[in-house]
Amino acid sequence: MLTITHTHEAGTLIEGTARGDGTAEILKANRWRWGRSIGSWYVPNSRDHRPDHHGIRRVVAALEAAGFEITTELDETVRSTAEVEADKIERQQARVAGLDAKAERRTADAEALWERHESDVNRLPEGGEPIKVGHHSEGRHRAALRRADYSARRALDAQHDAERASERAEAAAHTTGARYSVQTVANRIKTISADVRRAERRIEEDYYDPEHGYRPATADQKRARAERAAPILAELRDRLTYWEGVRAEQIATGKATNYGPDTINAGDSIKTRGHWRKVVRVNPKTVSVETGYSWHDRVDYAAIQAHQPATT
């Protein structure tokens, strides 16, 4: 008996598979992956999301067609954004620690191999003495050269592995910071706000009548749509509240600015991406700035780093 499970925290997994039982080919074909650390097949990027019912039904059908018995246990409960983010930060910290430890091991391995190579080089005849062909030392000399060449190659490969491991560890160490950067947070708020408005519009939008074309939605239709959209809207609004709180804290601590159409005027100068630009027009969500060419650029208020009023 196979069981597909889903929770918001763990994502979509399957229990009951065994090596060589034929499930691997089916799961791979449906883009599942094997998680060595968890000892189970899983759906990539399913953690912190609702279950993909369409994809799960497709896998269930394929497994049943192959003769497997399968059940599903799908939990629709959604964790709060605060819980999700705290979990992501904790997992990322653990990943950084693991990569740091791996980089240290790779570096130690490389240093040991370079020491081995240096020892092999020291066994060669001094002064770069050439091989004496036909001499009784020829075999030892050639073997020593092969050892030195082999240890050099191993040391170089180990050094490259150590450098890659260090680069991965450094990149991972900046992941959380990048996720919580001022501009990223502002963009995320903008995206989630648009998603909320889109979901709300779908409740009120007209419906298509084959005989009369588009007609205003009835009260019953709106009510049914609202019920279906309720869990999605609740999740989106929770995300929005969380990230708005993050931005409010960034503003309060001076990490982020809080400019808007009420604080910027045409003729002022703003700093964005490290450069000062003159404002030519103030818009509800952006300002238009000079570029030095025949066109103007638009800058989001959240991307404004500093502001200088126009001198009168």
Q: What is the pLDDT of residues 58-94, one digit of tens each?
A: 999 999 999 999 999 999 999 999 999 999 999 999 9
> What does the pLDDT read at residue 139?
86
**Token digits of residue 97:** 């620690």
Instruction: Note the pLDDT tens digit of each residue in 277-298.
Output: 999 999 999 999 999 899 999 9
- Confidence category of residue 212, pLDDT binned at 50, 70, 90: confident
Q: Is 51 a residue whose pLDDT tops 90?
A: yes
Q: Is 142 a residue whose pLDDT tops 90?
A: no
Answer yes or no: are the C-beta atoms of 264 and 304 closer than 8 Å: yes
> What does the pLDDT read at residue 134?
84
E-strand ranges in 125-284 read 207-209, 213-215, 269-272, 275-282
E-strand ranges in the chain read 2-7, 11-15, 33-35, 40-42, 70-74, 207-209, 213-215, 269-272, 275-282, 286-290, 296-300, 306-308
Of 174, 165, 153, 171, nearest in space to 108 by CA: 165
Taken in order 241, 245, 246, 250, the sign of the CA dihedral is positive
According to DSSP, residue 311 is labeled P
CA atoms within 13 A on the CB side of 185: 22
The residues, any chain, with a CB within 8 Å of residue 295's CB and separated by 6 or more, are none
CA-to-CA dists, residue 194 to 60, 190, 191, 200, angstroms? 35, 6, 5, 10
**237/78 Cα distance (integer angstroms):** 13
> What does the pLDDT read at residue 141?
87
Nearest 5°: phi and psi at 39?
65, 40
Instruction: Note the pLDDT tens digit of each residue in 148-206.
Output: 999 999 999 999 999 999 999 999 989 889 999 999 999 999 999 999 999 999 999 99
Look up the pTM and report it. Answer: 0.80
- Residue range 206-226: mean pLDDT, rounded: 93
> What does the pLDDT read at residue 56?
97
According to DSSP, residue 218 is labeled P
- Confidence category of residue 312, pLDDT binned at 50, 70, 90: low
**182/257 Cα distance (integer angstroms):** 9
According to DSSP, residue 127 is labeled G
**31/53 Cα distance (integer angstroms):** 15
> What does the pLDDT read at residue 14?
97
One-letter amino acid of 225: R
